[in-house]
């Protein structure tokens, strides 16, 4: 299981690196902007990038911040899209998944705009409804899957015992 240990090690290294990056960004925003100003802005890292200029050579750091954000959002969306597509393929026992890409992309684009049309609605949703969604996704679903797994194992064990007698 040499590959599994390597994957686990890389996962831990990636997690620590991302946690360290977020901690540094938050600390820099709070130290440079102050807690009040940082909390009032939706994107304080972008504001901090606007403020940074190192002489005449390094200016417009906010462009670099925006590019990093766009790339990270792109890769997150690609990974989630792939997971949704693979889940549908496995759920429906399909052999080919390529034909799902275009219709699934159209559906997700339309549904995303319909569900959250603007930032004000997103902030309202996040404040009042997100805790309930988070509870269902992080507590109820895992407990449901654990219970179903337990039931499935018990049925398999009972089936094995009845065949032996």
For 43, the token pair is 């994107």
pLDDT, residue 162, reads 65
Is the CB of residue 28 less than 8 Å from the CB of residue 48? yes
Residue 6, C-beta contacts closer than 8 angstroms, at least 6 positions apart: none
Rounded Cα gap, residues 79 and 15, in angstroms: 17
Is the CB of residue 70 less than 8 Å from the CB of residue 54? no
Residue 60 backbone dihedrals phi, psi, to 5 degrees: 55, 55
Residue 103, C-beta contacts closer than 8 angstroms, at least 6 positions apart: none
pLDDT, residue 153, reads 87
CB atoms within 10 A of CB 102: 9
pLDDT, residue 164, reads 65
For 94, the token pair is 């399909």
Q: In Å, how far are 41, 143, 144 from 155, measured between CA atoms?
A: 55, 18, 16
Residue 59 backbone dihedrals phi, psi, to 5 degrees: -130, 170
Residue 95 backbone dihedrals phi, psi, to 5 degrees: -95, -30
Positions in the chain short of pLDDT 70: 1-2, 56-57, 160-165
pLDDT, residue 2, reads 67
């Amino acid at each position: 299981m040499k590959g599994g240990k390597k994957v686990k090690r890389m996962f831990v290294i990636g997690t620590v690196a991302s946690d360290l990056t977020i901690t540094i960004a938050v600390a820099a925003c709070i130290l440079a902007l102050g807690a009040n100003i940082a909390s009032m802005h939706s994107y304080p890292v972008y504001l901090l990038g606007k403020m940074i200029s190192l002489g005449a050579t390094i200016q417009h750091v906010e462009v670099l911040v925006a590019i990093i954000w766009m790339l990270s959002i792109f890769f997150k969306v690609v990974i989630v899209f792939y997971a949704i597509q693979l889940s549908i393929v496995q759920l429906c026992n399909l052999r080919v998944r390529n034909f799902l890409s275009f219709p699934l992309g159209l559906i997700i684009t339309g549904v995303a705009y319909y569900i959250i049309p603007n930032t004000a609605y997103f902030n309202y949703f996040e404040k009042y409804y997100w805790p309930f969604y988070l509870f269902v996704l992080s507590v109820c679903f895992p407990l449901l899957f654990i219970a179903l797994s337990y039931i499935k194992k018990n049925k398999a064990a009972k089936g094995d015992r009845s065949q032996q007698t």
